[in-house]
Amino acid sequence: MKTPIKVFSDWVRSGKDEGMKNNHFKPVMKMIELFENKYENPSIIDAGCGNGWLIRHFYENKKYTNLTGVDGSNDMIAKAKTLDHENNYICSELDLWKPDNKVDVVISMEVIYYFKNPEIIIKHIFNNWIKKNGVFIMGIDFYLENEKCHDWKEKTGVDTMELFSSEVWINFFEESGFKNVNKYFFNQGKEWKGTLVVEGFKF
């Protein structure tokens, strides 16, 4: 078994990271719809940005200009920087980093269950990353109700992947201080429960 960051760094070397945009694109577009009419040119952090495809999407298609991607994998961040010289990419473990300026929107796709205690990183984001009236939108495919994902830990050889129900994820948000916490299931299929999306606001 390897750490999540080691596994994803290996994915960059084999080119497997390229598939993540395809796999995550549809639910992430629905996640964007949750906030795009609420903020004008929002400042955004992509928490666990991988190779930076979503930051590039925001810059090229939405014309947003205050964009930061953070990821713990040096290889992911090196690739993001090679592909994009306009936006900010930072290599850091999410729980060890704070932005200089808090932002309107934190978005994160397929990352937060790689933490042993996700409530700690959610609270860290609430306290240190998000402005008043800002929002955190988290998407995950690995959760209890989505039975198709239950063997992913064995399949990927990642040592830390925490499986919780959607209700437990909601509690993590509420206990961290987020208000108006909602959950959605985007991009559902026949045996696929969909991407669990949890949003919470900081008032």
Ligand X SMILES: C[S@@+](CC[C@H](N)C(=O)[O-])C[C@H]1O[C@@H](n2cnc3c(N)ncnc32)[C@H](O)[C@@H]1O
Q: Which residues bind ligand X (CB under 6 A)?
A: 4-5, 8, 20, 24, 48-50, 53, 71-73, 76, 93-94, 109-111, 114
- Nearby residues of 74 by Cβ (< 8 Å), 6 or more positions away: 9, 91
CB closer to ligand X out of 120 and 167: 120
Taken in order 35, 30, 11, 168, is the CA torsion positive or negative? positive
Tokens of 147: 């039975």
CB of 199 to ligand X, least distance (A): 16
| 90: three-class secondary structure by DSSP | strand
Residues 185 and 141: their CA atoms lie apart, in Å, by 9
CB closer to ligand X out of 28 and 135: 28
Nearest to 112 by CA among 72, 140, 137: 140
CB of 126 to ligand X, least distance (A): 17
CB of 132 to ligand X, least distance (A): 25
CB closer to ligand X out of 139 and 200: 139
CB of 37 to ligand X, least distance (A): 23
